[in-house]
């Protein structure tokens, strides 16, 4: 015998669904209102912002140019390397030019000026790649010379987080110097999220730079670092304080972060703050040191040994 449909039950389900749709419509309306009140929406009806996904893909291609064969699944054959590089350079130029163009339009450049600027900066960055490769290989060599656990250069390029962070910084820094909006920070924050190393693209960093372990390192925008400098995990090169305008807004310009001269080693957890703070050449900064004043060259700064108490106890009193 066929089952008789329960009309009242179906009508009840329809009412629940209708109420749910009304509630969802109300939620959507409130979210849309928040766009108007709070911002944070990607400029509807205006030139679109750069695509973070495309910027990261372009950065990864640039890093591949620096270290071909160390990323992705494509094997690099010597007989094909010219085709590989030609294709990669063309792809980078086309995509980077478009993302820079978008960043400039966001900053109210007219279309013609933005197109000329994006063409020029994209070409200039690619022209810098041979020099950047040489500098990055120096960084890899510094890592090999500074880490007794490193077996060879291949291990460093393939596995050390500092390589990705420093390579990203050196590429982003070239764009930052050319006053490219948005793109350098998208690149540096991608590396930050991937490696735990936060290097602002505005920092100035010399050759043969090594960050051992790396997690938690912070290098601020106006930091200046000389050659042959080595940092350990958890080092902060930051601002001592933030000056404010009369209306309370932060002052965005000026030297806010320290200067680290050549041949300095800074151990884990050290914090060095202030735009007038200079760490002299050849100095060693010990673990967990807090510095807000300059030190002379060839100085060793350490925290005094804390008192350590060793007490025998049983499992019941642990």
pLDDT tens digit sequence for 193-218: 999 999 999 999 999 999 999 999 99
pLDDT beyond 80 at 144: yes
CATH of domain 47-197: 1.10.3130.10
Q: Return the minimum-mean-pLDDT range out of 18-22, 137-141, 183-187.
A: 18-22
Give the pLDDT of residue 318: 47
Query: How many other CB atoms are found less than 10 A from the CB of residue 84?
Result: 16
3-state secondary structure of 164: helix
User: Bridge partners of 56?
Assistant: none
Q: How far is CA 318 from CA 181, 310, 311, 315, in A?
A: 57, 13, 10, 5
In whole angstroms, what is the distance from residue 318 CA to residue 316 CA? 6
At residue 9 the predicted structure's pLDDT band, cuts being 50, 70 and 90, is low
The vertex-306 CA angle with 302 and 310, nearest 5°, equals 145
At residue 158 the predicted structure's pLDDT band, cuts being 50, 70 and 90, is very high
Give the pLDDT of residue 71: 77
Q: With contact defined as beta carbons under 8 Å apart, do 24 and 55 qualify?
A: no
Q: What is the mean pLDDT of the chain?
A: 90
Fold assignment, 203-244+251-304:
UDP N-Acetylglucosamine Acyltransferase; domain 1 (2.160.10)
Query: Which region holds residue 312: left if phi is over 0, alpha if psi is between -120 and 50, else beta?
Result: beta
Matching CATH topology for 47-197 and 203-244+251-304?
no
Chain centroid offset of residue 68 CA? 21
In whole angstroms, what is the distance from residue 264 CA to residue 274 CA? 17
Query: Which region holds residue 182: left if phi is over 0, alpha if psi is between -120 and 50, else beta?
Result: left
pLDDT digits (tens, 9 = 90+) for 57-99: 999 999 999 998 887 666 777 788 888 899 999 999 999 999 9
Query: Which region holds residue 237: left if phi is over 0, alpha if psi is between -120 and 50, else beta?
Result: beta
Q: Where are the domains of the chain?
A: 47-197, 203-244+251-304
Q: How would you class 241 by CB atoms within 10 Å of its CB: exposed for 0-12, middle for 13-18, buried for 19 or more?
A: exposed
């Amino acid at each position: 015998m066929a089952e008789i449909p329960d009309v009242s039950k179906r009508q009840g389900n329809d009412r629940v669904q209708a109420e749910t749709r009304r509630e969802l419509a109300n939620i959507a309306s409130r979210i849309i209102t928040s766009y108007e009140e709070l911002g944070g929406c990607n400029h509807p009806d205006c030139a679109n912002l750069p695509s973070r996904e495309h910027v990261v893909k372009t950065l990864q291609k640039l890093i591949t140019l620096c270290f071909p064969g160390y990323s992705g699944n494509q094997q690099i054959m010597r007989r094909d390397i010219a085709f590989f590089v030609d294709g990669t350079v063309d792809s980078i130029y086309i995509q980077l030019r478009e993302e820079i163009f978008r960043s400039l339009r966001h900053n109210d450049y007219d279309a013609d000026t933005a197109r000329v600027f994006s063409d020029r900066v994209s070409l200039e960055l690619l022209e810098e790649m041979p020099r950047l490769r040489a500098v990055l290989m120096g960084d890899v060599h510094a890592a090999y010379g500074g880490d007794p656990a490193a077996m060879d250069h291949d291990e460093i390029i393939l596995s050390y987080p500092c390589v990705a962070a420093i390579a990203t910084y050196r590429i982003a820094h070239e764009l930052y110097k050319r006053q490219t909006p948005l793109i350098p920070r998208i690149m540096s924050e991608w590396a930050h999220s991937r490696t735990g190393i936060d290097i602002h693209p505005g920092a100035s960093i010399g050759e043969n730079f090594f960050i051992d372990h790396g997690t938690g390192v912070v290098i601020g925008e106006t930091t200046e670092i000389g050659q042959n400098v080595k940092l350990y995990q958890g080092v902060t090169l930051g601002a001592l304080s933030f000056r404010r305008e009369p209306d309370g807004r932060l002052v965005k310009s000026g030297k806010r972060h320290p200067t680290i001269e050549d041949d300095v080693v800074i151990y884990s957890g050290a914090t060095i703050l202030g735009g007038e703070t200079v760490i002299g050449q050849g100095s060693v900064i010990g673990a967990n040191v807090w510095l807000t004043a300059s030190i002379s060259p060839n100085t060793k700064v350490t925290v005094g040994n804390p008192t350590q108490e060793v007490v025998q106890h049983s499992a019941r009193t642990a």
